[in-house]
Chains A and B, each alone.
Chain A
């Protein structure tokens, strides 16, 4: 194991009958980083993370968490004591209060954080006596994160922690995740939200159809795979599309009538503006959009992820 690697995965394969859910993947996660494992639903994210959490056995390959082998039963109990897990679609006992829930999960571990400290970490002091079932989705996820931290783990696995949350709740969970990094925890985050990767991750691996198709920092990947800038002509309509096609190859109009022009150079920006001026084309607004992590996935696979599904 490399000196600062806390997770090391080598040639991991998981098959369910004839279907290969995880197909020979390898990666490592460095200490104190937020690592995003990103891909659409069914790509193999949860299978991989559940293998690392010792919930499933790999068909072949191996993985080490904190230097401990996930396939060795004597190591598994030690791994469980040292990791924290927020499973996908997390749920807990609905008729316990927040305080009772955290007390229960803390006391499972010989070494654990005080409940007060956990509540402070997720900023839920005012909800300690509220039953879990009466919390909003975002607050439930924050309780889940607190539970994952009950044993003061060195590595925290968060499997789709913001799925289904509204933007405000999602931001609140992000704040908690950034707080974990600030405390020196290593965070393994699975997600299909590209914005989440861009905002939170230090490193990312893109998984698609069971295979890792790209990895690096989000900015490296955007630079490498994000593709060109796009001029967006709001309300440009058919006329703008027709005129611009004479000077630029890649011009499309979306369903709102906005015209999207892919440009390869600064010169093409001037060409576009000059054509619009000379032909008196009317439009509402003009903006230049840089590549995002969405473009990375789109350019690598030819498909978009919308709500976790491929389109």
Chain B
């Protein structure tokens, strides 16, 4: 333990004396969150999925006018409409979907609308739009409003009076893109810290002879690997603390609503193990430190984009969705969002379990492949 502590102390000294590592640990996440946060903090997700639950059914058939409205929404080709059966619980149906929108057409819509059109009633029928992650500006909201207005005009033949009321029910939590993005930034940072850290520590110290020197001392391979892992943990948690600190700053433009809880901390621990293990495996095959970064980039960049760091996986083509299923960052991102944003502990737990399975595999292979001395 004393020797692990000694190595750890050396790593930490190197970390704060090497400007580039300070940049990647502290400034890079700040830049990322500032950049993406500024762009997206007040906007909606680019996802234009719309869930529709139509309760206006007569004799087992959807009413004519309610179907006509849905068809109008569909004809915009900007909304990807998913139907939720009236018998289904909407909350359950939307479980696991980040930033969903749901349009609820209530029972009697067709009848009330016909009465208004026939001047028999002044009570305009209501349609409810639920937005779990209500961004201040949601492009889908404007589109839905426009379609409803045009639909009213079409039905009244000439009159521009609105005869359908769109009632918004935004979630009180008021999640925004930045809340979706923040766990992604954490995931991205834990991944880059783990992979780049393990690759650079192992290739650099192996190529410049430091590992050889250490292997002539009583320090063991086990102590070296444990020290590397602990160091990665420290750096990961520093990064995460900075990301969350920036996000939480009450005076900042972000003021995120996400919460860091025990499950999220366990996931960060597991994520560090996974990505350090992957780094150790890469380091086995990349002997030259100058190509180590390129090799690490070749792994991290595709994984970053394919694992839902910036955008929801639901909007990817099917083959990319399949690829995302074999990437540990996908489970890390999904689990973190479930734990930090959606407050869905069961989903967070399931993703954590998968993440730790990845961790066991990556660390085991990494340890086996890490050479302490050449032979």
- B311 to chain A minimum Cβ distance, whole angstroms, is 39
9 contacts between A and B (CB under 8 A): A55-B216, A57-B375, A80-B218, A81-B218, A87-B213, A91-B210, A91-B213, A96-B13, A109-B217
- B18:A77 contact, CB within 8 angstroms: no
- A104:B10 contact, CB within 8 angstroms: yes
The answer, yes or no, to whether A28 is at the interface (CB within 8 Å) is: no
In the complex, what residue of chain A is closest to B375 when comparing beta carbons?
A56
The interface centre, meaning the residue of B6, B209, B213, B374 with most chain A CB atoms within 10 A of its CB, is B213
The answer, yes or no, to whether A263 is at the interface (CB within 8 Å) is: no
Contacts of B216 in A (CB 8 A): 53-55, 80, 83, 85, 87
| 15 further interface pairs, Cβ-Cβ under 8 Å (given A87-B209, A89-B209, A93-B14) | A55-B373, A80-B217, A85-B213, A87-B216, A90-B209, A90-B213, A91-B208, A91-B210, A92-B210, A92-B213, A93-B10, A96-B14, A100-B10, A108-B218, A109-B218
Contacts of A171 in B (CB 8 A): none
- B289 to chain A minimum Cβ distance, whole angstroms, is 12
Contacts of A147 in B (CB 8 A): 213
The answer, yes or no, to whether A107 is at the interface (CB within 8 Å) is: yes
Contacts of B375 in A (CB 8 A): 56-57
Q: Which residues of B (212-231) have their CB < 8 Å from a CB of A?
A: 212-213, 215-219
- B18:A95 contact, CB within 8 angstroms: yes
The answer, yes or no, to whether B173 is at the interface (CB within 8 Å) is: no
Number of interface residues of A (CB under 8 A): 28
Query: What's the count of A-B pairs with C-beta under 8 Å?
Result: 61
The answer, yes or no, to whether B3 is at the interface (CB within 8 Å) is: yes
Contacts of B217 in A (CB 8 A): 80, 105, 108-109
Q: Which residues of B (1-41) have their CB < 8 Å from a CB of A?
A: 2-3, 6, 9-10, 13-14, 17-18
- A95:B212 contact, CB within 8 angstroms: no
Within the assembled complex, what's the spacing in Å between the Cα atoms of A95 and B22?
Answer: 14
Q: Which residues of B (193-217) have their CB < 8 Å from a CB of A?
A: 208-210, 212-213, 215-217
Within the assembled complex, what's the spacing in Å between the Cα atoms of A108 and B219?
Answer: 7
Within the assembled complex, what's the spacing in Å between the Cα atoms of A174 and B329?
Answer: 55
Within the assembled complex, what's the spacing in Å between the Cα atoms of A90 and B210?
Answer: 7
- B6:A107 contact, CB within 8 angstroms: yes
Contacts of B219 in A (CB 8 A): 108
Contacts of A131 in B (CB 8 A): 17
- A152 to chain B minimum Cβ distance, whole angstroms, is 14
